[in-house]
């Protein structure tokens, strides 16, 4: 990461040989929490920018794509989702999308670093507007331990809105964690995990899918969507569940939803399930 003399914030992706830049007008916040460096910048065209340890987490302009695709496909895949767990996601964007569903009776967010949430409440209030919803509860602790200690069948949906598989977050991409999720989910339960860029991280996605299979998930599908502020501009989320094919989502309910989304709809859901040739099972 660098902020050069031309006021461009640049995130370098060495493994892809690429870099992405946003023009910055000023720095709004910087701190070192117990776990990471948290920065917020004002940009010229993408609104506020949240950065953790030098990596772009979200911008005000395009985060809706990621948060909608991390949330609604899973919720419309489950036949009747009522209890949802979000692991990570301290900016609360996924939590807000989950709470748009009237049938959800409880949504828990488990985020390791409370400071991410408090900074988001200050600089991204639109993402945190549902934090005081009576159905919501926020817990600032280790998500891996939380799921391992959960009673069997506690949740209908588990959303893993994690950072890249580096450091503490690496545990969220491995079979022991997926096995804990499988146990904590009901029979029709659905797990969704952010799974990086198909163009750059194809091997990681195949590894995740294999680890999910080892953990007892019978159906695994990867969703594709654009995300221009992440490396390559092409991102994914991987769904895991039981015997029911993910293509059999509640399309009629998705099409008739009474809340507004900016990217997600039933057609985009179907399209996201299509797999490019190089991503098909090997």
Same domain, 262 and 128: yes
| Co-location of 155 and 16 in the same domain | no
Asked which of 39, 59, 79 is the last residue of a domain, the reply is 59
Residue 96 sits in the same domain as residue 10: no
Q: Are 80 and 103 in contact (CB under 8 A)?
A: yes
pLDDT at 168: 67
Residue 81 token pair: 């989702």
Residues 35 and 115 in one domain: no
Task: Determine the Cα–Cα distance for residues 211 and 176; give it in Å rounded to an integer.
Answer: 9
Q: Which residues does the annotation mark as catalytic?
A: 161
Q: Could you tell me if 22 and 49 are in contact, meaning their C-beta atoms sit under 8 angstroms apart?
A: yes
Please list the ranges in the chain whose pLDDT falls under 70.
Answer: 1-6, 164-169, 281-282
Pairwise CA distance, residues 120 & 91, whole Å? 5
Q: Which one, of 83, 65, 22, 80, lies nearest residue 47 by Cα?
A: 22
The reported pLDDT for the residue numbered 142 is 95
240 lies in the same domain as 120: yes
Q: Which domain holds residue 35?
A: 2-59
Q: Indicate the pTM of the whole model.
A: 0.95
The two structure tokens encoding residue 60:
């005000």
C-beta of residue 265 within 8 angstroms of C-beta of residue 100: no
Tell me the C-alpha to C-alpha distance, in Å, between residue 146 and each of 56, 174, 248.
26, 16, 30
């Amino acid at each position: 990461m660098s902020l050069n003399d031309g006021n461009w914030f640049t995130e370098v992706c060495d493994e892809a040989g690429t870099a992405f830049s946003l023009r910055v007008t000023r720095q709004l916040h910087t701190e070192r929490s117990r776990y990471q460096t948290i920065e917020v910048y004002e940009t010229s065209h993408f609104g506020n920018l949240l950065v953790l340890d030098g990596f772009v987490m979200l911008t005000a302009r395009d985060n809706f794509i990621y948060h909608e695709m991390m949330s609604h496909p899973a919720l419309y895949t489950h036949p009747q989702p009522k209890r949802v767990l979000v692991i990570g996601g301290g900016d609360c964007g996924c939590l807000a999308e989950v709470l748009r569903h009237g049938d959800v009776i409880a949504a828990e967010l488990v985020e390791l670093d409370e400071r991410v949430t408090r900074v988001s409440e200050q600089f991204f209030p639109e993402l945190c507007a549902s934090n005081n919803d009576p159905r919501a509860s926020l817990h600032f602790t280790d998500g891996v331990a939380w799921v391992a200690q959960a009673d069997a069948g506690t949740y209908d949906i588990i959303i893993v809105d994690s950072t890249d598989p580096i450091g503490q977050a690496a545990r969220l991409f491995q079979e022991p964690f997926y096995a804990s999720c499988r146990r904590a989910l009901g029979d029709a339960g659905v797990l969704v995990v952010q799974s990086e860029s198909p163009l750059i991280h194809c091997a990681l996605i195949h590894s995740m899918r294999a680890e999910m299979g080892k953990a007892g998930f019978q159906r695994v599908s990867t969703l594709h969507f654009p995300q221009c502020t992440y490396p390559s501009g092409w991102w994914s989320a991987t769904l895991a569940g039981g015997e029911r094919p993910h293509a059999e989502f509640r399309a009629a309910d998705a099409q008739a939803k009474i809340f507004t989304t900016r990217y997600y709809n039933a057609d985009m859901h179907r399209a996201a399930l299509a797999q490019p040739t190089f991503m098909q099972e090997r």
